[in-house]
Amino acid sequence: MQKKIALVTGAAGGIGAAVVETLAGQGITVAAVDRDGDLLDVLVKEAAERDEDVEAFVGDVTSSALVEELVGDVEERLGPIDFLVNAAGVLRLAEARALTDEEWSVTFAVNTTGVFFVSRAVVNRMVARRRGAIVTIASNSAGTARTEMSAYAASKAAATMFTKCLGLEVAKFGIRANIVAPGSTDTPMLTAMWTDQGSARASIEGVPEAYRVGIPLGKLARPTDVANAVAFLLSDKASHITMHDLTVDGGAALGV
């Protein structure tokens, strides 16, 4: 994995930051992409203290033109991109019939269209080199209905199938495309949903009135649990794996 270059979106927090740290810790040069320049600066500083190579690129995955410019800038500054991790994501909670136009649009703009824009820009460059690996961070909600998560679940389902179709199309170029689908993970996105001290317990034990089972392993995922799965799918150890959806949820989706 050393001397490779990875582009990670949504790099400034939660799972994205864990992916950056995990990949950089394996000797990969990481282009960390996020809208929050201040958090990126902290990420880069912490990486430098560990003698890891992480560079910040402030960008918005919802703009096709800006994405093309950003990917070109990454390759000009760092070199050809070997790995792409689509980790940028947003969550808007509401029952389906109460969702606003803006909440629906923003969710798909980041979680689905952003995956399309970045993947297209990177893969079009990978094709010429006939190598590369992509991982899209989706969610176990892409295949399991959740109350108040229709926009998020639908956007992640779309990103999942997009990544599988992409993987099918570019396999002939030696490029692999896989998905990691986390469940409840101890990140700011999850804790922002909590309303009281019992929320963490509810995530683990389940919420019958919301038709939500608990987590059989009895614990929340750590961001590093997800990041380790991403690193595996990018590595040569997964060289014969593509179009695969790897669920990392402690059994919350009951293996479905």
C-alpha 191 chain-centroid distance: 18
SS (H, E, C) 95-130: CHHHCCHHHHHHHHHHHHHHHHHHHHHHHHHHHHHC
Distance CA 135, CA 227 (A): 11
The active-site residue out of 108, 117, 152, 162 is 152
Give the pLDDT score at 197.
Answer: 55
pLDDT digits (tens, 9 = 90+) for 49-77: 999 999 999 999 999 999 999 999 999 99
pLDDT-flagged residues of the chain (< 70): 1, 191-198
Determine whether 152 is an active site residue. yes
Tell me, what's the pLDDT at 13?
Answer: 86
Query: Which pLDDT score is estimated for 249?
Result: 96
The domains located in the chain, with CATH, are 5-183+223-247 (3.40.50.720), 189-220 (no CATH)
